[in-house]
Structure 1
């Protein structure tokens, strides 16, 4: 009987202890956990050149390095525009060279010969006038003949001066303004060629950063509009965790603060650093912990970046944060 009483008292004491521990657990504050997800930098590679996809060099899951060729677009219209621009450039450069070089040697020689011819004619006209003047003074010729000879002499002098001016202009070449205009036209034509060449170069799209190909949206032979992404690349070296934190929990986080996150998919705990807290809240309704004091709260987006690269990390993985 005494043993049974001892056992009963022991069982009762154990029951009291279990009930007390259960009441303590029920009243003890529960640890709060926040769930976020992993994000990473994504690049959508598109071309300014509309046309058909000529070749796609990558597939989903391929690892690419910066500068690797991803795809090429064929645009016959741009090739034709390039030919037109190159033709205009060549013509403008030829006009500029013509202005810089001035008149040809044959043109300068012909101009000089015209001046010498006019000079000889003026000398003859002067001699003729002097003879007619002498005969007029002796009374042999009429005044009309003397005036005609004088007029022919003056006209020959003016012709000589005009021929000499043409010779000087031919020898000097084009004016500085004409040279500047020709140089400007050549520069404008060169700019047109560079513009079309730059657009054509954009038809051969290369990876801007290293990463993994996440999507290939167009295949060979399909029409690619201007600006439409053909290949998407995700750079997991530039990854972060995104959490949405209630405003009453923001006091627990500061910029630069290091926290430990659990990534269930990897079974690891990794140290992250608070890199950004949104300055603008998003609306969401939460129930207050105190009955009768409910109010609407806002959530703020918070970004945390890993302190070191994480092997096997993927976009969309869950990240758990214990408060």
Structure 2
């Protein structure tokens, strides 16, 4: 590992600690103005779901994209925390017996195992709802127009035409394997949509131009595909202890992946291509974009 990657990973870890501290405050037992009370078992399950490890890559991308364009870090941190709530809700629900039926997440029992199925469903519901609360709250120091844009973009990325729709396609893929375009669409929705939003959200936080917002969105699309390709490669080459979750499940369920369809050599070449395209999109920002370029390479080369 060279010095630059060490520096990047230290920056990623430091940001993860900031995000976790913010989530810890947001998920405290104290009810907010307008809330009646926070049932302790539900709050505890939400806390467990969102503070049980993870790289916090999506909030990191929000913060670094905002930084690239001169956005306020505190506002970006809160938007990143909101996005992490959506991501963690999706993991809780994906792990349920009716969905992917997983018992392990980030090396620990999944929420429905650690608590119970009903509590897991409610914890996911509450995390999703809370994400929009965090963005709209007065503590998020952004103009109303920016909050509206973030709310709309996150809803589109998380809902029927984004992540939730992608999970529906993923479940359908167990019964009928999709063709190549079907796999690309599924992955762009289930995995890519929130990564794309993370990068675009940074531009929204910064009040950037439409051109910058489009460029960061396109960057997010490239690294979203890279993330999924790396995930599919790891699903075939890694183990549960390294990944912190079950591996080999797509193959065992007959789900098609681009790696299975085209082979490892093709996947690795495609992964490198996505990184090159992502870096090319950052070229106009010159040295200011070093951290985001490192993030693209980190996503492609990660081991878990």
Q: Assess same fold via TM > 0.5.
A: no
- The structure that is strand-richer by fraction is 1
> Structure 2 length normalisation: TM-score?
0.21
Instruction: Tell which structure's C-alpha radius of gyration is larger.
Output: 1
Greater relative contact order (CA < 8 Å, ≥ 6 in sequence) = 1
> Structure 1 length normalisation: TM-score?
0.20
